[in-house]
Structure 1
Amino acid sequence: MSRMGDVLAGFHAAWEFESDSVLIRYERGIRTPKLFQALGERRVPLEAIAGVTLTTGKRGTVVLRVELRPGADPLMDAAAGQLKEGGDPYRLVLPAERETLAEYYADELREQLTESGPAEDFLVGAPDVPLQFKAYDAKASFDGNIVRFRWFWTGASSTKWKAGDQSFPVAELSGVEWRSPEVFEGHLRLMRRDSADAQPAQADLDPAAVVFGLGYGPVHESLPFAAAVLAAVRKSGPAAAMPAGAPRRDPADIAERIRHLGELHEAGLVTDEEFSSKKAELLAQL
C-alpha cells in the first residue's frame, strides 16, 4: 500500500499505515476519550478490516473509519455495538482541510483488502492483563487465567453474599456478556460452559455477574476487561466463545422487569427516553 510509516494525524489519535497493518496510537489528553487512553494503541492487521468509509463530520471535520470483520477483535465483539459514536476506537476525526489526504489513504486501504465475512480467530490483540475494576457490588480482577469477584458488603445482594467470593478459570467459561455501564441494568456476566441450569436472568442475583452503577464499572475499565476475558476463553478451549449477547428470558421475568421499570419511571428515577428504550429491549428478548 502506501509507503511504510506514513502517518495520518487527527483528533485524539494518529494512524500509521504499514505494509500489513494500521497502527493506531491514541493521544493522552484531557479531551481524549478515556477508553482510547486505556487502550494506548491498537494494531489492526489488514486481514481484520472489512471496509473503509470517509464521511463528513460535524463542525468542519471529516471522519475516516475502518469497519472490522465480525470476530476479528475481542474488544468490538465484547462491545456488541454498544459504544457511542465518539467512543469508537476505529474512527479517526480530522479537520476538513485534510479530506483529500484522508481520501488517498482510504483508497489505498481499500485496494489492499481481500478478506470478508466473519473471522475464525481474533486478529487484533486483546488488552494486556492483569486487569481489574470496581463494579457496584464487587471488585473484579483477571490475571489471564482466572476471573475473580470479591463482593462488597455495601452493594452485593444476599444471594451473592451466601455464594461467597467467586473464582472462574477461563477453561470453565464459554463467553462474556457486557452491558454498558452507561445504560440501565449495566453489568458484566461470565457465561459458564458446564452450567447445568440456566443462570439467573437478574445480574444482581447471579454470582457469575457483577453489576454496574453510577461511577462503577466505567467503559474504559470494564470493556477492556471483558475483551481480555473473551479472548482468553476463545483461546482456552476447542469450543468457540459465545458472542456477547443476552440469553432469552422467561416471559414472566420480562413482565416483572417491565413492571419494576415502570415504578422507577413513575418515581422519576428513569427518563421517558430510558424507559422506552429499555422496555423495547426487554420485549425484544421474548
Structure 2
Amino acid sequence: MGDVLAGFHAVWEFDSDSVLIRFERGIRRPKLFQALGERRIPYEALRSVTVSQGRRGTVVLHAVPRRGADPLMEAANGQLKEDADPYRLVLPAERETLASYYADELRGALGPGAEEPAERYLVAAPEAPLHFKAYDGKASFDGSTVAFRWFWTGASSAKWKSGDQTFAVGELAGVEWRSPEIFNGYLRLLERAAPETRPGEADENPAAVVFGLGYGTVHESLPFAAAVLQAVRAAGAAPESAERAPVWRAGDTGRNPADIADRIRHLGELHEAGLLTDAEFGAKKAELLAEL
C-alpha cells in the first residue's frame, strides 16, 4: 500500500505485506502504547477489519488479530479496556471515508486462512530483558528464565518458605495473566509438571506473583507475559495439540467465603491507611461480596 494514516494515539504505515503501528508518546496516551513503542503486524496475522463510529466526533478503524497470532493479545485474553486496544486507530469523524478506504484495502490483503487460528505467533512480543514489581515480589525475564524474588513486605509465608523461584521456559506450558485492573489480579506461570502441592490461589503459589494498587501495572506485566508466552512456544514447550491453559473470565471465582473475608479485611487496612478512597473501598468490597 505504501501509505500513512495518522490517528490520535498512533500512526499506521502500510507496506506491501504488513502495517507498522507507531504509538505516539504523551501524558494522555495509554501507558501500554508508550511501552510498546511500535509493532509490525503482518496482514496474515489479521482476522477482520471494521470501521465504526467512535465517541465525541471520531471514527475507529479496528483490526482484529487471528487467534494465536499475537502473544500480547493472547495473554490479554479480552481483558484490555477499549481505549488500550493496540489494534484500534481513532480518527476524526471527517476522515471516515479515508478510514473506509484503508479498511477495504486491508480486507483485500487478508489471507485465505484469516478465520483459522494461527499455527505460530506472527506478531513479535516485546523483547527481553523485562521486569516489573508485583505486590509480593519482583518478576524478571531474561529471554530464557523467569525469576521471582519475594518482598518481605508482601509475600505470603508459603512463598517465603519456598524461597525465591526460577523457571526455565522449557519447564513452562504457558502463562495466565489476570489484569491488575481487576481485583485479585496476578501473573501465574503454568508449569508442565507442576508439583501436586502447588496451591490454587496465586497469593500462596510460588509460581505466581500477585498484583495490587500500583503493582504489576498493565503496561509492564502484560508485555512481560507476552514475551514469556512467545519464548515458551519458540522453545517447543507448548505444542499446538496441547490443551490451552485455563484463562480467567468474568464470573469465575473459585473462592470460598473465608478467603473473601480475608480480602475484605485487607481492603479495610488499605482504607484505614489512606491508600483507598471511600468510593474505591466500597466498590471493591461490593465486588467481593458479589462473589459469595
Asked whether the two chains share a fold, i.e. TM above 0.5, the reply is yes
Q: What TM-score comes out, normalization by structure 2 length?
A: 0.87
Amino acid at match of 1:65: H
Q: Is the 8 A contact 1:157 1:205 kept in 2?
A: yes
Q: Deviations over 1:219-249 (max 9, x none)?
A: 10000000000111111125337446149x9
Amino acid at match of 1:82: Q
Report the CA distance shift for 1:250/1:29 in structure 2 as closer, same or farther (over 3 A).
closer
Report the equivalent of 2:16: 19
1:1-286 superposed matches below 5 A: 2=1, 4=2, 6-114=3-111, 115-197=114-196, 199-237=198-236, 239-240=238-239, 242-243=244-245, 245-246=247-248, 253-260=255-262, 270-272=281-283, 274=284
Which region of structure 1 is more displaced relative to structure 2, 58-67 or 108-117? 108-117
Q: Is the 8 A contact 1:265 1:271 kept in 2?
A: no
- In the alignment, the residues of structure 2 paired with residue 41 and residue 27 of structure 1 have an alpha-carbon distance, to the nearest angstrom, of 9
Q: Is the 8 A contact 2:232 2:238 kept in 1?
A: no
How large is the RMSD of aligned CA atoms in angstroms? 2.4
- In the alignment, the residues of structure 2 paired with residue 147 and residue 238 of structure 1 have an alpha-carbon distance, to the nearest angstrom, of 14
Q: Is the 8 A contact 2:23 2:37 kept in 1?
A: yes
Q: Deviations over 1:164-216 (max 9, x none)?
A: 11100000011101111111101111011011416322111010111111111
Q: Is the 8 A contact 2:129 2:140 kept in 1?
A: yes
Report the CA distance shift for 1:217/1:264 in structure 2 as closer, same or farther (over 3 A).
closer
Q: CA deviation at 1:135?
A: 0.7
Percent same amino acid at aligned positions?
63
- In the alignment, the residues of structure 2 paired with residue 22 and residue 279 of structure 1 have an alpha-carbon distance, to the nearest angstrom, of 45
- In the alignment, the residues of structure 2 paired with residue 150 and residue 263 of structure 1 have an alpha-carbon distance, to the nearest angstrom, of 26
Report the CA distance shift for 1:106/1:275 in structure 2 as closer, same or farther (over 3 A).
farther
**Any idea what SS the aligned residue of 1:204 has?**
coil
Amino acid at match of 2:26: G
Report the CA distance shift for 1:48/1:154 in structure 2 as closer, same or farther (over 3 A).
same
Q: Is the 8 A contact 1:78 1:244 kept in 2?
A: no
Report the CA distance shift for 1:49/1:184 in structure 2 as closer, same or farther (over 3 A).
same
Amino acid at match of 1:143: D
Q: Is the 8 A contact 1:178 1:244 kept in 2?
A: no
- In the alignment, the residues of structure 1 paired with residue 289 and residue 73 of structure 2 have an alpha-carbon distance, to the nearest angstrom, of 25
- In the alignment, the residues of structure 2 paired with residue 173 and residue 279 of structure 1 have an alpha-carbon distance, to the nearest angstrom, of 34
Amino acid at match of 2:31: K
Q: Is the 8 A contact 1:175 1:244 kept in 2?
A: no
Q: CA deviation at 1:258?
A: 4.5
Report the CA distance shift for 1:27/1:250 in structure 2 as closer, same or farther (over 3 A).
closer
Q: Deviations over 1:8-44 (max 9, x none)?
A: 0001100011111111000111111110010011111
| Unaligned ranges ≥5, structure 2 | 272-277
**Any idea what SS the aligned residue of 2:203 has?**
helix
**Any idea what SS the aligned residue of 1:44 has?**
strand
- In the alignment, the residues of structure 2 paired with residue 230 and residue 239 of structure 1 have an alpha-carbon distance, to the nearest angstrom, of 9
- In the alignment, the residues of structure 2 paired with residue 232 and residue 36 of structure 1 have an alpha-carbon distance, to the nearest angstrom, of 22
Q: What TM-score comes out, normalization by structure 1 length?
A: 0.89
Report the CA distance shift for 1:82/1:107 in structure 2 as closer, same or farther (over 3 A).
same
Q: CA deviation at 1:97?
A: 1.1
Q: CA deviation at 1:262?
A: 6.5
Amino acid at match of 2:137: A
Amino acid at match of 1:22: V
Report the CA distance shift for 1:149/1:264 in structure 2 as closer, same or farther (over 3 A).
closer
